[in-house]
Amino acid sequence: MNLNTDFLQNMSGPLDYPLTNDYMFRALMQSSNDTLRHLLAALLPVPYEEIQSCEILNPIILGEAIDNKTCIMDVRVCMNNDRMINLEMQMYPYKAWPKRALFYLCRLYCNIERGQNYSEILPAVHIGILNESPFPGLNRFYSKYELADIENAENIEDIHIFTGDFSLRVLDLSQTDNVPENERSSERYLWARLLRATTWEEIKMLAEKNEAIREASTHLRILTKDEKIRLQCEGREMYEHDMATIRSEGMDEGIALGMSRGISQGISQGISQGQERVNQLNRRLLGDNRMDDLMRSMDDPAYQKQLMKEYGIL
């Protein structure tokens, strides 16, 4: 596809909604299949020519209000009809992100229907695009995790991979500036720079180096001009601000309670009671087979509180 990208010469200043906004990220991936293919080729990595098809399995109607079932903006893709991929743009620092990502990956791997045999399970890959390492002190730009035998490995060459069909990848955008100079011409690095870009000047510089990014920038400009898309991006930003405020206020209340009863006792008791309520809710949701509600409650404290009231836990 050859798009007119001359507009870039006249673009300047900050992006209203960069691709770290998960709605804008989702909108770009859904509106440009070629951009999606290039990004996957860079992140997996595989040659672009080997990606014959990318079908988004959870499309949304761009510009429409987000309902309960679409509040999670992950992009679930079936690539070449033989691999399942989940793309997650996550800028909020979840302490439980490793378990959350593993939970999502397990669900992605369970991709056969009743009556099918295990040999028909498609490989699954969860790719988390984060703004910091999920493991404090582990500062790595890109990581790949697979099941492996480490008990019998005296060195790296002895490590036996149990299977490559179950894989978790992490792209840490906060480490982009630490990528060695000899790797800064790689597709992965250039696409990471695009994902974290905040100005049109940055995008223009990248577009001069990469034709696929140049075409992606055209789709991005179209989306940023769409008022319905802008409203949804703004809504996602407000949602994140609200969640951050709720968490902060909850922490302030916990500190106040701790001071009145004794810091150590108050914090310990609050954590214990809160965790027991969460565990109780999770058991009830699992028992009722409400998996979508369970997944949403992990990301949405307000909705989690609503479910607790529904079950009489609060």
Sequence-ordered list of residues with C-beta below 8 angstroms from that of 154, at least 6 positions apart, any chain: none
Tens-binned pLDDT, residue by residue, of the chain (314 aa): 455 567 788 889 999 999 999 999 999 999 999 999 999 999 999 999 999 999 999 999 998 877 645 567 899 999 999 999 999 999 887 788 999 999 999 999 999 999 999 999 999 999 999 999 999 899 999 999 999 998 998 888 889 999 999 999 999 999 999 999 999 999 999 999 999 999 999 999 999 999 999 999 999 999 999 999 999 999 888 877 666 676 666 656 665 655 555 545 554 555 556 667 777 887 787 778 787 787 787 777 788 888 888 888 87
Whether 200 is in a domain gets the answer yes
Q: Which of 206, 225, 244 is the last residue of a domain?
A: 225
Provide the whole-model pTM: 0.77
For the record, the structure tokens of 169 come out as: 């990848």
Domain that holds residue 87: 6-225
Same domain flag for 212 and 243:
no
Angstrom distance (rounded) from CA 130 to CA 88? 8
Whether 281 is in a domain gets the answer yes
Same domain flag for 62 and 159:
yes
Whether 133 is in a domain gets the answer yes
Same domain flag for 184 and 269:
no
Q: Which of 181, 197, 225 is the last residue of a domain?
A: 225
Residue 48 CB-density burial (10 A; 0-12 exposed, 13-18 middle, 19+ buried)? middle
Angstrom distance (rounded) from CA 105 to CA 198? 30
- pLDDT for the residue numbered 311: 87
Whether 216 is in a domain gets the answer yes
Whether 172 is in a domain gets the answer yes
Same domain flag for 215 and 243:
no
Residue 131 main-chain phi, psi, to 5 deg: -105, 0
Q: How far is residue 220 from each of residues 18, 112, 115, measured CA to CA in Å?
A: 9, 35, 43
Same domain flag for 239 and 172:
no
As for how many domains the chain has, the answer is 2
Same domain flag for 77 and 154:
yes
Whether 12 is in a domain gets the answer yes
Same domain flag for 80 and 195:
yes
CA angle 107, 112, 118 (to 5 degrees): 105
For the record, the structure tokens of 198 come out as: 């905040």
Same domain flag for 165 and 251:
no
Q: What are the residue ranges of helices labelled H in 32-133?
A: 33-43, 97-109
Q: Which of 191, 178, 203, 301 has its CA nearest to residue 246?
A: 301
Q: How many helices (H) and strands (E) does the chain have?
A: 10, 6
Sequence-ordered list of residues with C-beta below 8 angstroms from that of 206, at least 6 positions apart, any chain: 190, 193, 194, 197, 213, 217
Sign of torsion, CA 118 170 203 75? positive
Angstrom distance (rounded) from CA 295 to CA 291? 6
Q: Which of 225, 248, 276 is the last residue of a domain?
A: 225
- pLDDT for the residue numbered 297: 79
Whether 1 is in a domain gets the answer no
Same domain flag for 198 and 121:
yes
CA angle 214, 203, 131 (to 5 degrees): 120
> Which helix (H) or strand (E) covers residue 128, if one does?
strand 124-130
Catalogue the E-assigned strands of 153-294. Answer: 160-172
Same domain flag for 84 and 172:
yes
Same domain flag for 306 and 288:
yes
Same domain flag for 166 and 296:
no
**CB atoms near residue 228 (< 10 Å):** 13
Whether 77 is in a domain gets the answer yes
